[in-house]
């Protein structure tokens, strides 16, 4: 291991450094990392970008929001450096497959440009809408699940995949409301978009915990019904309980990504792995972001759960021989 002290953020003439990219003043570590998408990864946010470049801690893979890099050349340059050492996944937040007025082609082309440079292992987005006309809303808003929305979403997903030139992973949303116009269950809707478009799926286990609590259904049954063959990735993120203003004494779970993974998510994750088999797993933390080491600890815990399940599955196979 070769250690040398120093800042790693370089200054560039004419470039404004992003104030969200925290300068890292620790030790630069030059080691070769063996990264592996089957080892849990972490969501890489701007706050940890410089530290990641400098220290290159062991992590299976990294996922970023491409929108944070499209208009930020300094961050994009650091990300390119990171991508030399870790598999990268792009998790889009601005491609709105549920918008009635179509996909922003220019935005999609920019994401394609970043993907061409980074060669991501996955490109994913949400079963939601977040644009209206030229307005970008800072939220992932829900859809009714019926034939009309199925046609709309399927057309948009096919268009996204054609433009990106690779499969697009669709993530199950965290839900707070339902629609009277829905005619099918969310898991059936996901199965049908997979059948119509050939897209793949990202199962956010914590979103299942949040939605099952808020919408009053069985999270384990949801996992049982989830179209397992299409899953390429699992997310785990923290949520925050809040008082439900509409129902005195009741509590809503809000998908804040601002806390450690809660026990119900870990328990459901273990159940999901038993049903789905091993899947690339990612820790998401977007608000009140902790030290990088905390995220890596959460990823390590996910890896311990996966290994324990793998070991017990192997023991069962041996016993059955
Ligand atoms: Fe997620």
Could you tell me the distance, in angstroms and rounded to a whole number, from the CA of residue 257 to the centre of ligand 1? 9
Please tell me the predicted confidence (pLDDT) of residue 252.
96
Please tell me the predicted confidence (pLDDT) of residue 84.
95
Domain that holds residue 186: 18-320
Could you tell me the distance, in angstroms and rounded to a whole number, from the CA of residue 237 to the centre of ligand 1? 7
Residues in the chain where the model's pLDDT stays below 70: 1-20, 22-37
Is residue 294 situated within a structural domain? yes
User: Given the structure tokens 């994401």, which residue do they identify?
Assistant: 111
Is residue 8 situated within a structural domain? no
Number of helical H runs and strand E runs in the chain:
9, 14
Is residue 3 situated within a structural domain? no
Could you tell me the distance, in angstroms and rounded to a whole number, from the CA of residue 202 to the centre of ligand 1? 8
Write the burial class of residue 245 (CB in 10 Å: 0-12 exposed, 13-18 middle, 19+ buried).
exposed
Query: Total domain count for the chain?
Result: 1
Could you tell me the distance, in angstroms and rounded to a whole number, from the CA of residue 300 to the centre of ligand 1? 18
Is residue 124 situated within a structural domain? yes
Could you tell me the distance, in angstroms and rounded to a whole number, from the CA of residue 91 to the centre of ligand 1? 9
From the list 118, 142, 130, the residue with the least C-alpha distance to 44 is 118
From the list 293, 278, 275, 153, the residue with the least C-alpha distance to 208 is 275
CA–CA gap between residue 321 and residue 84 (Å, rounded): 43
Please tell me the predicted confidence (pLDDT) of residue 37.
63
* CATH code, domain carrying 196: 3.20.20.150
Could you tell me the distance, in angstroms and rounded to a whole number, from the CA of residue 13 to the centre of ligand 1? 37
Burial 168-198 (b: 16+ CB within 10 A, else e): bbbbbbbbeeeeeeeebebbebbbbbbeebe
Is residue 10 situated within a structural domain? no
Is residue 301 situated within a structural domain? yes
Could you tell me the distance, in angstroms and rounded to a whole number, from the CA of residue 171 to the centre of ligand 1? 7
Is residue 2 situated within a structural domain? no
Helix (H) or strand (E) holding 283: strand 281-284
Is residue 176 situated within a structural domain? yes
Could you tell me the distance, in angstroms and rounded to a whole number, from the CA of residue 144 to the centre of ligand 1? 20
Give per-residue pLDDT as tens, 260-269: 999 999 999 9
Could you tell me the distance, in angstroms and rounded to a whole number, from the CA of residue 54 to the centre of ligand 1? 27
Structure tokens given for 119: 């060669």
CA–CA gap between residue 178 and residue 183 (Å, rounded): 11
Please tell me the predicted confidence (pLDDT) of residue 35.
53
Could you tell me the distance, in angstroms and rounded to a whole number, from the CA of residue 295 to the centre of ligand 1? 15
Could you tell me the distance, in angstroms and rounded to a whole number, from the CA of residue 5 to the centre of ligand 1? 36
Query: Regarding beta strands 62-64 and 88-91, do their DSSP bridges make them parallel or antiparallel, or are they unpaired?
Result: parallel
User: Given the structure tokens 């690779």, which residue do they identify?
Assistant: 166
Q: What is the pTM of this model?
A: 0.88
- Beta-bridged to residue 208, according to DSSP, are none
Give per-residue pLDDT as tens, 178-228: 999 999 999 999 999 999 999 999 999 999 999 999 999 999 999 999 999
CB contact at 8 A, 298 and 41: no
Could you tell me the distance, in angstroms and rounded to a whole number, from the CA of residue 58 to the centre of ligand 1? 22
Please tell me the predicted confidence (pLDDT) of residue 6.
26
Structure tokens given for 244: 């439900």
CA–CA gap between residue 150 and residue 130 (Å, rounded): 17
Could you tell me the distance, in angstroms and rounded to a whole number, from the CA of residue 262 to the centre of ligand 1? 14
CA 259 → CA 39, 69, 203, 237, 255, distances in Å?
A: 22, 24, 19, 8, 10
CB atoms within 10 A of CB 274: 12
Could you tell me the distance, in angstroms and rounded to a whole number, from the CA of residue 234 to the centre of ligand 1? 8
């Amino acid at each position: 291991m070769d250690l040398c002290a120093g800042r790693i953020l370089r200054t560039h003439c004419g470039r404004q450094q992003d104030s969200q990219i925290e300068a890292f003043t620790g030790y630069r570590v030059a080691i070769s990392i063996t990264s592996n998408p089957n080892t849990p990864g972490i969501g890489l946010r701007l706050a940890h970008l410089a530290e990641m470049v400098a220290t290159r801690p062991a992590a299976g893979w990294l996922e970023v929001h491409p929108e944070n890099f499209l208009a930020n050349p300094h961050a994009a340059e650091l990300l390119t450096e990171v991508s030399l050492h870790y598999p990268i996944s792009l998790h889009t937040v601005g491609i709105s497959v549920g918008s009635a007025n179509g996909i922003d082609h220019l935005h999609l082309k920019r994401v394609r440009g970043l993907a061409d440079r980074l060669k991501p292992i996955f490109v994913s987005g949400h079963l939601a809408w977040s644009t209206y006309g030229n307005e970008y809303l800072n939220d992932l808003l829900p859809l009714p699940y019926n034939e009309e929305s199925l046609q709309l979403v399927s057309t948009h997903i096919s268009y996204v995949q054609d433009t990106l030139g690779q499969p697009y992973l669709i993530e199950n949303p965290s839900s707070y409301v339902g629609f009277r116009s829905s005619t099918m269950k969310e898991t059936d809707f996901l199965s049908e978009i997979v059948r119509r478009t050939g897209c793949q799926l990202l199962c956010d286990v914590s979103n299942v915990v949040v939605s099952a609590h808020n919408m009053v259904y069985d999270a384990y049954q949801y996992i049982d019904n989830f179209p397992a063959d299409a899953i390429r990735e699992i997310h785990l993120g923290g949520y925050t309980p809040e008082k439900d203003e509409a129902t005195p004494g009741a509590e809503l779970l809000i998908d804040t990504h601002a806390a450690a993974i809660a026990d119900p998510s870990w328990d459901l994750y273990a159940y999901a792995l038993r049903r789905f088999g091993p899947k690339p797993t990612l820790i998401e933390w977007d608000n009140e972001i902790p030290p990088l080491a905390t995220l890596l600890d959460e990823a390590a815990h996910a890896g311990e759960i996966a290994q324990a399940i793998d070991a017990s599955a192997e023991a069962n196979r041996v016993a059955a021989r």
